[in-house]
Amino acid sequence: MPKADVEALDAVGPVARASGVDRDVRRDDPYAAYGEVEFKVITVDNEDVYGRTLVRVGELMESYSIVRQVINNLPDGPIAVRVPRKIPVGEAFSRYEAPRGEDVHYVKSNGSDKPERVKLRAPTLANIKPMLKMLENYNLADLPIIIAAIDPCFSCTDRTISIKKLDTGGSEIMDWKSLRQYSIEWYRRKGIKF
């Protein structure tokens, strides 16, 4: 996956860094103690599955260094902090570097103990579109390793499905349970029984 495609499709994490994109939220927008820790952002210019593997191994080694620094510089004080049950009215937007890449969270509070709105964008969701580009012009046998190389977490991308009805032009929202039942019925009409 060339660097230009990675940037155009907004790939994140090791997928982007394996194509030479030097981007990491821990360094670019430090949070927690990352502003006080020294680490290298691991990048390579391989632009392929092997490159994504090299980035992940390099990040693992870098993580050992980060853990040692944190343990050696751990300040005194309480480890656990009490969090209020009710959150003040307001909004919060945060992003952090997860093992798969940038994870984005938005929360809106109305002052109760339940959020009014929660939105998130997992790194796997961000890397799905780039992965589709990676699959172009490859053989079916290449598909499993290319998909595995983005380290997908499909439960992180679990969403409802919008089905457009070709016969009526309308649409219908389906959850996973409804989609599964629809699939079973579709195959049953084709003569395949489960």
Name the residue with higher pLDDT: 193 or 122. Answer: 122
Q: Return the H-helix or E-strand segment holding 116.
A: strand 115-121
Q: What percent of the chain has pLDDT over 90?
A: 57
Q: How many CB atoms lie within 10 A of CB 175?
A: 11
Residue 18 and residue 112 share a domain: yes
Parent domain of 51: 3-159
Of the CA atoms within 13 Å of residue 1, those in its CB half-sphere come to 35
**What predicted TM-score, i.e. pTM, was given to this entire model?**
0.75
Residue 60 and residue 41 share a domain: yes
Residue 78 and residue 17 share a domain: yes
Residue 145 and residue 181 share a domain: no
What digits encode the pLDDT tens for the residues 52-67?
999 999 999 999 999 9
Q: How high is the pLDDT of residue 90? A: 94
49: pLDDT strictly greater than 90: yes
Residue 181 and residue 144 share a domain: no
Residue 50 and residue 103 share a domain: yes
- Token pair recorded at residue 152: 């997908």
Instruction: Kindly give, in sequence order, each residue whose CB lies less than 8 Å from that of residue 24, ignoring residues fewer than 6 positions away.
Output: 17, 41, 97
b/e sequence 127-142, b meaning 16+ C-beta within 10 Å: bbebbeebeeeeeeee
Q: How high is the pLDDT of residue 159? A: 61
CATH number, domain containing residue 111: 1.10.645.10
Q: How many domains in the chain?
A: 2
Of the CA atoms within 13 Å of residue 34, those in its CB half-sphere come to 16
The most confident of the ranges 44-48, 85-89, 165-169 is: 44-48
Contact by Cβ (8 Å): 120, 99? no
Residue 194 and residue 103 share a domain: no
As a whole number, the mean pLDDT across the chain is 89
- Token pair recorded at residue 2: 């060339």
What digits encode the pLDDT tens for the residues 132-174?
899 988 888 888 999 999 999 877 776 656 667 778 877 777 7
Q: How many CB atoms lie within 10 A of CB 21?
A: 18
